Amino acid sequence: MRPFDYRRMADLQPVDQPGDRLIAGGTNLLDLMKLDVEAPRRLLDISRAGQDRITEHEGGLRIGALVTNADCAADPRIRADYPLLAKAILAGASPQLRNKATTGGNLCQRTRCQYFMATDTRCNKRQPGSGCDALQGVNRNHAILGTSEACIATYPGDMAVALTALDATVEVLGQGGTRLIPVAEFHRLPGDDPARDNVLRDDEVITGVTLPEPVAGRQIYRKIRDRSSYAFALVSVGAVIKLREDRIARVALAFGGLAHKPWRDPQTEAILTGQPPSPALFDQAADALLAKAKGRGGNDFKIALARRALAAVLTEATEE
Amino acid sequence: MATTSATLDVNGEAREFQGDPRQTLLDFLRLDLKLTGTKKGCDHGQCGACTVMVNGRRINSCLSLAIMHDGDQITTIEGIGTPENLAAIQRAFVSHDGFQCGYCTPGQICSATAMLKELADGWPSAVTEAVADTPAPSDEELRERMSGNLCRCGAYSNIIAAIREVMQSEEGA
Amino acid sequence: MSDSYDTPDQRNLLDQTAQGVIGQPLDRPEGALKACGQATYAAEHDLTNCAEGVLVGATIGCGRVVRIHRDEVLAMPGVLAIYADQAMLRRNAQGTAGEAPIQDVTTVDYYGQPVALVVAESFEQATAAAKALRVDYDVTTDADFDPAAVEYEPSEEADELGDLDRAMDEAAFSIDRTFTTEAHNSAAMEPHASIADWDGRKLTLYGSFQMLKYNVKELADSLGVAEKNVRILSPYIGGGFGSKLGISHDAVSAALAARELGRPVRVTLTRQQVFETITRRSETRQRLRLACDRQGRLTGIGHEAWVTNLPDEGFAEPVTQATKFLYAGQNRRLALSIGRVQLTTAGSVRAPGEAVGMQVLEAAMDEMAEAAGIDPIEFRKRNLPAELPGEGLPYSSRMLTEALDRGARSFGWDQRHQQPCQRREGEWWIGMGVASAARVNILSKAEARVTLRADGGVLVESDQTDLGTGSYAILGQIAAEMLGVPIDRTDVALGDSDLPAGAGSGGSWGATSTGSAVFRACEAIRATLAHKLSVDVDELRLKDGLANDRPVTELLDKDLVETGRIEPGKTMKDYSQASYGAFFCEAAVNAFTGETRIRRMTGAFGFGRVLNAKTARSQCLGGMVWGIGSALTEAMEFDHRTGRLMTHDLAEYHVPVHRDVPAIEVILLEERDTVASPLQAKGVGELGICGAAGAVANAIYNACGVRLHSFPMTPDKLVGRLPDPVGA
């Protein structure tokens, strides 16, 4: 790690100096600092800056930015009304990491692209304009949707996939005050500016995440990975599905491991909505989801895997 | 103003940290406090050998700065038991051969200790069928909850047996 | 008595002795230390004024170092020195090398190879400085990084018998399949570490090594110092699995730096450096040709393998080693070819040869049995040769049939459906698979000193190491049994190169070889006691500190010290020796996604006398967990454009986690192999992996009907080939 100044913060404030980085759980930031991928000049320790509670909010819940992943997944209200969120969090990392990782930090988790994490390779996200070694390299874990020729990295997290399917909102505080960003719009596609993972401005800090009123229906999180635990997703699916009179009355689907952001596709959901569930319908939904999918060699399999993961989730959600 | 010091409670003893803010909690324990029971296996939160408890919660001490733990209560393997006075979980690891090389062992034991508390508190896991319910402590639950601790010698089933024994004796008690 | 083991010791003395501790499932004597974090590993020895060294790895795959920008890093806070010494290791030493491996880090042979060592006052300073060190290279542009794109040549003369091509043509049933396995890393939990401390001309190195007598020679030769001036201490080793057989970069660079700086220096490899610089198991391509007649008797076996290594390395993964002796078939072709690539040195990783050779052979045997319409257990039993094919040597002992039968009964093999896709539970196809286990047995030269102290206690001493294998436990048990001393009065001191040279840990030979040396030292002490009692040694009865009912202390006016020695002899040449077993696996394959979960496993093993049923069982368990990793998750993935290893940490290189490992049953079969050692014991440390992944592969097929010929069997390989999850 490069030297830095360290300062403890008593509350969450907008960032006012370039080179400052906020640290809370530190599980991602310190990892990347050790790899020299991140080199902040100053660390502002917000781990005791409040915002560590889950409160009732407009019929839903507000999760403070510093609520740990472990606390969030253990919260009885989350477990009862938003089981998808609890399941997604529990599918990620390890108990030790979840005890440190925070809600805000997890949203800002950076990609696991091995080239991004290696300063001796070319990466447009780490070093804009340097090129992308993943395009023709080892890219088994990489994105198949919404990629660009500049970057095929994925957003690696699980929690945000659930939050996306649950229509949650990110609350951020900047010099100009508070603004609300739907989670689905929080992360961005790489385009020709992959250095930016999300729409957070330099001065902004996440203060919380709000969940709308609970919705009825089955909530499923399915994560497919190379080993049964403690591994990043090859593909994951977060689903909220409500059946009425043998038809899919309402469906929300978000996918992890496929793109630079948790992927939500309105057309896929539209195809399913109002229809009686069947393997043919699920196939049709997958066709829509994956119409523009593009493999880069190592990750070609994700197209088939996403299709089957979707079928598995829809089958499970619509079973008697 | 930059902060340059911290006071940590390590196994019940106040310890001053006054050093390079880059130092991880793990390196502070191992190099400065000579508490080498906590192991460095990967230094990136990928193996669990460095697991300690902070305020009763298990964490990877390699992905945490010492200076961030001002006022925290740290429990390391040295705070759990000694060869002359083994904790029940340590005794069970010995009798079930819950290790071979022994390098992941302190992390497994710290992790298991905190895990039992999480179970007692009713926390769900990724294998809990209905997360809203209190999980039943099946072997599959134990395995999932211990999956943050790698053991390359492959003592996993013996570790689960050791944990199971401690759970049963605590139930009996 | 000659040191060499020339005739089988049929006395089975350990069955006559009275103490009753041999074979018992005793706890490890060092167990409490390990459970309390009090066992001291290499990097943990507390030396005053120790400086911290961090190695700098090359960021090219092949070429030369042109310039190291030292000045800017020497100016960084706390930095003491930068070394890029000619003597520093370019490659780590192969097992039992006993001499310096290839040195001089100005040439770069593979990506990540150490090119410099930065030493600073603190670990943080050294790490930052190492990261900041700029190195200019002259890059070799036409280097070979892709095993699929290089030429191969025979690494040894092919082992041929009869006419395999003709046997294939004439066979009632035959299969011809090509399999691949990926490169593996040992990934021991403790990264390689050394602390070097010089006292004048004498070096003490606290390190993590498997075979100290070779390591001393390797280190001395690398440093250009006399062996007598090198002492290595490795009392506890955080796993080895082959990766710590030879000295590595940390040891030599720490020693050089400590000598220059005049103070102790610690060098620990980062986890990424362990993956990038420590010997890998070669990836393999393996062609299996099997032919059999209508009765399911093998008429031909072909096993040809292609492996890689760096130029100038003598090691070639001996893939076909067990195929030589395991199954019958009068027409045979075993061949090994090697290709040269600029990737991390290939060398011994747990069970070199059998680990990947057996899993492929056993997957092919499953296909052959199916083609012949015979139960795979019966098919294997039908094809056990009476003597070593082609050489006519007898087998020392072989419990394979018993292992298959006992394992099958305990596992419930009769519940298996012969056809795949017959059992479905929810989303999961369930299937069962079987495989044989086999691993060559080797006796190796060893020495050990045993002291029967005047106070009646026992001390066993050797430079033998305990990697978690159980050396501390079993060496004490052998001495306690032979000398009739309670186990709690038996001390074992290991891991110090100043002690008599044991066999070292590797090749599964540590326990039997060093144990035999302990046995022989005890025999000499027994002879002395018999003489003191004026009885024939056969009449000696030693138990609980009594010698023929007299307190043994009454016979001792001073310590009795004996050194026992053993060397491989005629028994190694006159017999085919191996440990055997059988694996049974029940796997579930997700019908939608191709994820595989192991639901249960049984292993039944015969490896001669069991010296400690607890630690032996653990060895088998551990091997089977490796089998799960080899079958399902483990792969080193290189960027073939640059030679850079992309799966260089424990997040990307997937060793099995708790949840990957179900309840595993281990059955230890009673056996005495008098040919193998005076203990009637054979090796067990590697047996549990040798074929285990084959049982997994066969269970996957039996579950979902997909025969993959590519390990590891990750979801991406299965997902496109699974039957319709709903329609079936």
> B144-171: per-residue pLDDT in tens?
999 999 999 999 999 999 999 999 998 7
Inter-residue contact B97 to B155 (CB < 8 Å): yes
Tokens of B77: 């393997």
Listed in order, strand segments (DSSP E) in C520-595 are 542-543, 546-547, 550-551, 560-568, 578-590
Do B55 and B126 belong to one domain?
no
Q: Are strands A247-256 and A235-244 parallel, antiparallel or unpaired?
A: antiparallel
Structure-block tokens of residue A250 = 């309402």
Q: Is the pLDDT at A207 greater than 90, yes or no?
A: yes
Average pLDDT of chain B, as a whole number: 97
Residue C341 lies in a domain: no
Q: What's the CA gap between C506 and C521, in Å, rounded?
A: 22
Contact A251, A242 (CB under 8 A): yes
The answer to whether position C472 is within a domain reads yes
In the block, tokens 């340590």 appear at B90
Mean of the pLDDT values across residues C37-46?
98
H helices of B15-155, in order, are 25-27, 88-95, 105-120, 139-145
Question: Among C661, C686, C682, C656, which residue's Cα sits nearest to residue C670?
Answer: C682
**Is B16 in the same domain as B61?**
yes
B123 and B167 in a single domain? The answer is yes
Domain boundary (B38, B53, B79) is at B79
Query: Could you tell me if C589 and C633 lie in one domain?
Result: yes
Range of the domain at B55: 6-79
pLDDT tens by residue, C551-581: 999 999 999 999 999 999 999 999 999 999 9
Q: Which of C514, C542, C568 is the last residue of a domain?
A: C568
More confident of the two residues B173 and C113: C113
Distance to chain C for B132, nearest Cα, Å: 22
Both B71 and B102 in one domain: the answer is no
Q: Which residues of B80-110 are buried (b: 16+ CB within 10 A; e: fewer)?
A: bbbbeebbbbbbbbbbbbbbbbbbbbbbbbb
Q: Please say whether the beta carbons of C29 and C488 come within 8 A.
A: no
| Contact yes or no for A227 and C632 at CB 8 A | yes
pLDDT at B170: 82
Indicate whether C700 belongs to any domain.
Answer: yes
- If one counts the domains in chain C, the total is 3
Cα of B127 to nearest chain A Cα, Å: 9
**Cβ <8 Å between A138 and C646:** yes
Cβ of residue B169 closer than 8 Å to a chain C Cβ: no
What whole-number distance in Å separates Cα of residue A156 and Cα of residue A91? 12
Is A228 close to C595, i.e. CB distance below 8 A?
yes
CATH at residue A313 = 3.30.390.50
**Tens of pLDDT, residues C222-237:** 999 999 999 999 999 9
Residue A204 burial (CB count, 10 A): 20
Question: CA C543: distance to chain centroid?
Answer: 36
Q: Do B145 and A80 touch (CB under 8 A)?
A: no
Q: Cβ contacts (< 8 Å) between C27 and chain B: which residues?
A: 94-95, 97
Nearest to B59 by CA among C688, C193, C586, A94: A94
Segment C699-708, tens digit of pLDDT:
999 999 999 9
Q: Residue C652 in contact with residue C636, Cβ under 8 Å?
A: no
| DSSP class per residue in C55-79 | EEE-SSSSEEEEEE-HHHHHTSTTE
What is the CA C310 to chain-centroid distance, rounded? Answer: 21
Query: Is residue A58 one of the residues assigned to a domain?
Result: no
Residue A155 lies in a domain: no
Write the residue in C128, C717, C725 that is nearest to A311 by C-beta: C725
| pLDDT for residue B41 | 98
Q: Is residue B1 situated within a structural domain?
A: no
Asked whether residue B36 is assigned to any structural domain, the reply reads yes
Peptide bond into C712 cis (omega under 30): yes
Q: Is residue B94 part of a domain?
A: yes
C39, amino acid identity = A
| Whether residue C595 sits in one domain with residue C529 | no
The answer, yes or no, to whether residue C728 has pLDDT greater than 60, is: no
- Residues B96 and B162 grouped into a single domain: yes
| CATH number of the domain encompassing residue B95 | 1.10.150.120
B112 has a pLDDT exceeding 70: yes
Domain that holds residue A302: 218-318
Q: DSSP letter at B31?
A: I
The answer to whether residue C260 sits within a structural domain is yes
Please indicate, yes or no, if residue C299 is contained in any of the structural domains. Answer: no
Query: What's the pLDDT tens digit per position in A299-317?
Result: 999 999 999 999 999 999 9
Decide if C656 touches B, using CB distance below 8 A.
yes
Task: Report if residue A242 sits inside a domain.
Answer: yes
Say yes or no: C593 and C508 in one domain: no
Provide the residue range defining the domain that includes C229: 42-142+186-280
User: Which residues 69-88 of B are in CB contact (within 8 Å) with C?
Assistant: 76-78, 80-83, 86
In this structure, the answer to whether residues C244 and C372 fall within a common structural domain is no
For residue A265, is it within any domain?
yes
- Judge if B92 and B53 occupy the same domain: no
Q: Which pLDDT score, from 0 to 100, does residue A16 have?
A: 85
Question: What whole-number distance in Å separates Cα of residue C195 and Cα of residue C175?
Answer: 54
* Domain end among C280, C310, C330: C280
User: Same domain, yes or no, for B38 and B10?
Assistant: yes
Contact C27 B105 (CB under 8 A): no
Q: Is B63 exposed, middle or buried (0-12, 13-18, 19+ CB in 10 A)?
A: buried
Cβ proximity of C626 and C689 under 8 Å: yes
Helix (H, G, I), strand (E, B) or coil at C483: helix
- In the predicted model, is pLDDT for residue C1 greater than 70? no
For C293-308, the three-class secondary structure string (H helix, E strand, C coil) is: CCCCCEEEEEEEEEEE
Do B52 and B103 belong to one domain? no
> Distance, in angstroms, between C660 CA and closest chain A CA?
6
- Are both B28 and B74 inside the same structural domain? yes
Residues 35..94 of C with a Cβ closer than 8 Å to B: which?
Answer: 35-41, 43-44, 46
Q: Are residues C670 and C699 part of one domain?
A: yes
Are residue B156 and residue B98 in the same domain, yes or no?
yes
Given the structure tokens 């469906």, which residue do they identify?
A251
B42 close to A (CB below 8 A):
no
Residue B172: pLDDT over 70: no
**Confidence band for C74, pLDDT divided at 50, 70 and 90:** very high
Cβ–Cβ below 8 Å for B97 and C43: no
Going by pLDDT thresholds of 50, 70 and 90, the confidence category of residue B3 is: confident
On whether residue A233 sits in a domain, the answer given is: yes
B95, B45: one domain: no
In a domain, A290, yes or no: yes
Q: Is residue B19 part of a domain?
A: yes
Domain membership flag for residue C180: no
Mean pLDDT of the B126-137 span = 96
Decide if B21 and A6 are in contact by the 8 Å CB cutoff. Answer: yes
Which chain B residues have a beta carbon less than 8 Å from that of A83? Answer: 130-132
Q: Which residues of A touch C131 (CB under 8 A)?
A: 36
Angle at A275 between CA A272 and CA A278, to 5 degrees: 85
Instruction: Give me the CATH number covering residue B37.
Output: 3.10.20.30
CATH of the domain at C650: 3.30.365.10
Same domain, yes or no: C616 and C548:
no
Closest CA of chain C from A286, distance in Å: 14
CB contact under 8 A, A76 and B132: yes
- Cβ of C75 under 8 Å from any chain A Cβ? no
Q: At what angle are helices A301-318 and A279-290 packed, to 10 degrees?
A: 140
**Cβ partners under 8 Å of residue A176, min gap 6:** none
User: What average pLDDT score do residues C275-284 get?
Assistant: 98
In this structure, the answer to whether residues C128 and C210 fall within a common structural domain is: yes
Q: Is residue A182 part of a domain?
A: no
Interface contact flag, C469 B97, Cβ < 8 Å: no
| B139–A contact, CB cutoff 8 A | no
* C413 and C424 both lie in a single domain: yes
Which of B49, B79, B109 terminates a domain? The answer is B79
> C590 falls in which pLDDT band (50, 70, 90)?
very high
Q: Which of B29, B52, B79 is the last residue of a domain?
A: B79
Detail the DSSP E strand segments found in chain B: 6-10, 13-17, 51-54, 57-60, 73-75
Amino acid at C568: P
Domain stops at, among C548, C568, C588: C568
Q: Do C238 and B101 make contact, defined as CB atoms within 8 angstroms?
A: yes
Residues C233 and C264 in one domain: yes
Q: Does pLDDT of C49 surpass 60?
A: yes
Closest residue, chain C, to B36 (C-alpha)? C44
Residue A44 forms part of a structural domain: no
Count up the domains in chain A and report the number: 1
Strands C230-233 and C265-268, how do they pair? unpaired
Any domain includes C290? no
Domain check: are B59 and B119 in the same one?
no
Q: CA-CA distances (angstroms) from residue C265 to A54, C261, C268?
A: 50, 8, 10
Does residue B49 surpass a pLDDT of 70?
yes
- A31 interaction partners in chain B (CB closer than 8 Å): 44-45, 63
From C240's Cα to the closest Cα of chain B, the distance in A is 9
- Measured CA to CA, the distance from residue B50 to residue B31 in angstroms comes to 13
Instruction: Provide the pLDDT for residue B171.
Output: 74
State the average pLDDT over residues C334-363. Answer: 98
- The model's pLDDT over C375-418, given as tens digits with 9 standing for 90+, comes to 999 999 999 999 999 999 999 999 999 999 999 999 999 999 99
The answer to whether residue B14 scores a pLDDT higher than 80 is yes
The SS3 of residue A198 is strand
Mean pLDDT of A122-138: 98
- What percent of chain A lies above the pLDDT cut of 70? 100
User: Best residue in C73, C659, C716 to probe A by mutation, most A CBs within 10 Å?
Assistant: C716
- Give Cβ neighbours of residue B136 (< 8 Å, ≥ 6 apart): none
CB < 8 Å to B42, chain C = 191, 271, 649-650
Q: Is C453 helix (H, G, I), strand (E, B) or coil?
A: coil
ipTM of the complex: 0.98
CB contact under 8 A, B83 and C128: no
* pLDDT given for residue C315 in this prediction: 98
- Do residues C216 and C86 share a domain? yes
> Is-catalytic flag, C686?
yes
CB of B25 less than 8 A from some CB of A: no
* Mean pLDDT within C70-96: 97
Contact A312 C127 (CB under 8 A): no
For residue C726, what pLDDT band results from cuts at 50, 70 and 90?
confident
Question: Is there a contact between C229 and C497 (Cβ–Cβ < 8 Å)?
Answer: no
Suggest the residue from B18, B103, B165 to mutate for an interface test with chain C (most C CBs closer than 10 A). B103
Are C453 and C564 in the same domain?
Answer: yes
Residues of A in contact with C658 (CB under 8 A): 229
User: For chain C, which chains pass the contact test of at least 3 CB pairs under 8 Å?
Assistant: A, B
